[in-house]
Structures are given as structure tokens and as C-alpha cells.
Amino acid sequence: MANKESDKLLFDHNGDGVDRRGFLKCMAWAGTGVLCVMQGGVLKSYSLSRGSKPKVAGDFSFVQISDSHMGFNKPANPDVAATLNAALDKIKQLETPPEFMLHTGDISHLSKPEEFDALNQILKGAPTTQTFFVPGEHDVLNDDGKGYLERYGKEAKGSGWYSFDHKGVHFIGLVNVMNLKPGGLGTLGHEQLQWMEDDVHHLKASTPIIVFAHIPLWSVYPEWGWGTDDSAQALSYLKRFGSVTVLNGHIHQTMQKVEGNVTFHTAASTAFPQPQPGKAESPGPMKVPGDQLRQLLGITDVNYVQGHQALAVTDSSLA
């Protein structure tokens, strides 16, 4: 969006960093869904806010959800369980049934056992039988992530990183929420970086790579901790691959970037929105009119076609 005088926040009526006009700007910026197709290193996008949803055929698809924040009950969203259930309903309506889900962190709000249990109970109603997780900073608050690992990372390395292969695609789940840098900037650390280098060493350059983590691996807005301090080192191991997609959560809004062979994509939250980078004094839950909340929450559907360096990434709101 252009940096116009009319885009500036004039009155902070709710103490949440955004006035009504500012919210409408954010809503238009976040959008209600985008289909993105990577073709020859160029990302093509199609708005899903109007008209019918384009249908993309492929060998398999999966869904990304993020930032469910079970246990959160502030005015920004007093019922995060309801919006998570709405996300699952949205997944059930997808034209191509997904084979599994990725959850890119902040499962819980305060790392409490009952919050993890609540998510597990809700996911029993998911249309997929398997969900892969990486932790958010809210999942490792009290015990260095032990509670998270007991539930979701028993077979993972270190603080929860791992990889797996599915129908010719190599998935890498990274953890960048331990030992945060000043300001909340993410970090991967030497041990995990060394593991990642070894993990991809044997792969052919033609192998599609999908990396998923909580905090973005590109510098969205370092002043708010929206980036990862040592991400450049991790991405250097992926330069020889023709197709690399990086999926993240954390910032509670859809943003995309293409840099060389890498497509970066951050997902919306199922719990509450956050302000645009730099459009408020600080990040955090953004209160919006109740009848418009679900327009700023959503899911991401990813479709892979074997033999093509193209991943179709579709964002859909919960509205």
C-alpha cells in the first residue's frame, strides 16, 4: 500500500493501535484470500475476495493453520475455540481434501497443559488424520518447551526440529522461538543449523523443499521481532534447490515475498489479528468490530503438482 497521509492512524479509540479507518485499511491489506502459483521463480497471485475459487489439481495438498492461542479470552477474541472450529469447517469445504495439516506454532497462549489438551480435543474433529507441529514462543513459556515436546515432539531433535518426506517433497520443521534475541527476534542456533545442513546434503537439487517454522525466516519487521537472526545461514543451505517454500506464522496476517528460488509466506491466525508492521506502537492482539473479526482470520491451503516447480498457496478467511 502506498504511504499516504490518509493511511495514518488518527485516533486510537480502543487503545489497540488502530482506529476504525485504520482497521479498514488493514482489512483491505490483509485481504480475504489469495491463490499464489510459483512458475519459473515468479509468484502469480489471484484474488479470492470475489468470484469463484480457482481449482488447482495436484498430487496432494495440505493445510497450514497457525496461532490458535488456546486459552486467550481477551476482547480481541473471547472465544478462540469457536474460531479454530470455524477454521476446521473451512478445511472441510476445500475442493481438494488435504492429506495432513501443519500447525506453525502458538498452539497455546500460556503453555498450560489444559490449553494443549483443548487443542487436541478440537483437532479430533479435523478432516485430516495427521498434524505436524512446530512450537511458538507461547508454547515454551514455563518449562523450556518440555510440555510441548511431550505432546508434539517425542521423535524430534533438540528443542523440536525434524524433517520428513511426502510424495517426493522434503519438509523441514524448524524451531526459532528458543533463546529469543533482544526485541523478540527469532534464532535457530548452531546445533539446529548444523543438523539442517546435514539433513539436506543428500537430497537432489530437483527435490521440492518446504520449510515451516513459527517466526518468519525473512525480516518482516525486526523492530517487533518479526524475523530470525540467523535465517540467512539456514537459507544458504537451500540455494541449490529449484523450489523452496517457507511457511511461517507469528505475525497473524498474510504476507508474501519471493527472493530468488524461495517463496516466503506467513499465515493468518485462527485467534486474533495483529497490526500491520509499524502501524502501531507495538505488536499484539488487535481489537476489531466483532462482525468483521473472521475476515482477518484464516487458513492456508497448499497444493503440489509433481513434475512442476509450482506450489499453489491459497489463503482463505474464516468469514
pLDDT in tens, 217-269: 998 889 999 999 999 999 999 999 988 989 899 998 888 888 888 888 888 88
Helix axis angle, 113-123 relative to 80-92, nearest 10°? 30
DSSP letter assigned to residue 73: -
The 10s digit of each residue's pLDDT in 129-171 is 899 999 999 999 988 999 999 999 999 999 999 999 988 889 9
Q: Supply the pTM of this predicted model.
A: 0.79
Select, from the ranges 2-11, 63-72, 227-236, 254-263, the one with the highest average predicted confidence (pLDDT).
Answer: 227-236
18 vs 319, higher pLDDT: 319
Task: Kindly list the strands in the beta sheet with 298-304, ordered across the sheet, starting from the edge strand earlier in the chain.
Answer: 42-47, 34-39, 311-317, 298-304, 60-65, 101-103, 131-133
Q: Given the C-alpha cell 543449523, which residue does it identify?
A: 193
Confidence band for 193, pLDDT divided at 50, 70 and 90:
very high
97 vs 14, higher pLDDT: 97
Q: How far apart are CA 25 and CA 11, in angstroms?
A: 14
What is residue 182's predicted lDDT score, i.e. its pLDDT? 87
What is residue 6's predicted lDDT score, i.e. its pLDDT? 33
- The dihedrals phi and psi of 235, each to the nearest 5 degrees, come to -70, -25
What is residue 58's predicted lDDT score, i.e. its pLDDT? 53
DSSP H helical ranges for 93-145: 113-123
* pLDDT at residue 278 tops 50: yes
Instruction: Specify the 3-state DSSP secondary structure of 12.
Output: coil
AA identity, residue 160: G
Confidence band for 280, pLDDT divided at 50, 70 and 90:
confident
